[in-house]
Amino acid sequence: GNSVTQMEGPVTLSEEAFLTINCTYTATGYPSLFWYVQYPGEGLQLLLKATKADDKGSNKGFEATYRKETTSFHLEKGSVQVSDSAVYFCALSPNYGQNFVFGPGTRLSVLP
Amino acid sequence: ETGVTQSPTHLIKTRGQQVTLRCSSQSGHNTVSWYQQALGQGPQFIFQYYREEENGRGNFPPRFSGLQFPNYSSELNVNALELDDSALYLCASSLSATYEQYFGPGTRLTVT
């Protein structure tokens, strides 16, 4: 079956540090890959996405590249801010937009 | 443009009871998906409705059922509530079945 694995949290960083949150997936075929963010007290928001191998999704300084050979979609940001503190979810959809499978989430805390 | 709204915000029910959760999709969206998010976990796909028809279902028992109305709002019904049904229930709407999803803030259900 389809599944998503993320690095365990919580992750605590100082402001302006480099961020990597690892995500690997198991799926048949060519799923679409997503990163969602959940800020405290809010619903899930799409952060970025990639729909085919070697695509790079980017938004708000965050980036992730769809690596089919390593079945990975790691999230990176060069310089985090306190406002980036949130829970980050990696997800896949085997048929774009449907039947989403989410990872368990990684909580990020950024300290000033 | 009004986003996705859900009601109620919080709900407490007793084991064995039935519950109905409601979701109003974003204007112009004809597809609604429902997810269950247990504490500390990622959302799990329950089912999706597209133009009033069920269009995909996750690994949930038949006591989880839904409806989508002509205005594309939706209900999630859960019968014979169990303690493990305690979770945040998220609704997401999209322009069509294969487009980006926009999530509501969720309904927190507690079963005692």
**Residue B60 touches partner A, C-beta closer than 8 Å:** no
Quote the pLDDT of residue A95.
75
Tell me whether residue B16 is exposed, middle or buried, using C-beta atoms within 10 angstroms of its C-beta: 0 to 12, 13 to 18, 19 or more: exposed
Quote the pLDDT of residue A9.
85
pLDDT, mean over chain A: 93
Report the percentage of chain A scoring pLDDT > 70. Answer: 98
**Distance separating alpha carbons of residues B104 and A53, to the nearest angstrom:** 30
Quote the pLDDT of residue B95.
86
Q: Pick the residue from chain B with its C-alpha nearest to A50.
A: B100
Q: Do B97 and A97 touch (CB under 8 A)?
A: yes
For residue B61, the cross-strand partners are: none
Q: Do B42 and A95 touch (CB under 8 A)?
A: no
Quote the pLDDT of residue A94.
83
What value does the mean pLDDT take over residues A35-47?
A: 90
Sort out which chain A residues have CB atoms less than 8 A from B90's CB and list them.
Answer: 43-44
Sort out which chain B residues have CB atoms less than 8 A from A105's CB and list them.
Answer: 40-42
Contacts of A80 by beta carbon, 8 Å cutoff, 6+ apart: A13, A15, A16, A17, A18, A19, A108, A110
Quote the pLDDT of residue A72.
97
**Residue B4 touches partner A, C-beta closer than 8 Å:** yes
Quote the pLDDT of residue B56.
87
Quote the pLDDT of residue B101.
86
**Mind listing the pLDDT tens digit for each residue in B6-35?**
999 999 999 999 999 999 998 889 999 999
What value does the mean pLDDT take over residues A95-106?
A: 84
**Mind listing the pLDDT tens digit for each residue in A55-90?**
999 999 999 999 999 999 999 999 999 999 999 999
Quote the pLDDT of residue A1.
84
Q: Tokens 């949290």 correspond to what residue?
A: A9
Q: Do A95 and B103 touch (CB under 8 A)?
A: no
Q: Do B55 and A98 touch (CB under 8 A)?
A: yes
Q: Which of B48, B90, B98 sits opposite A44 (nearest CB)?
A: B90
pLDDT at A98 over 90: no
- Mutant choice from B93, B101, B108 vs A, greatest count of A C-beta within 10 A: B101
Quote the pLDDT of residue A96.
64
pLDDT at A110 over 90: yes
Sort out which chain B residues have CB atoms less than 8 A from A100's CB and list them.
Answer: 33, 35, 43, 45, 101
Low-confidence ranges of chain B (pLDDT < 50): none
Highest mean pLDDT among A50-54, A92-96, B64-68: B64-68
Q: Which of A46, A60, A31, A32 is closest to A88 using CA atoms?
A: A46
Q: Do A101 and B45 touch (CB under 8 A)?
A: yes
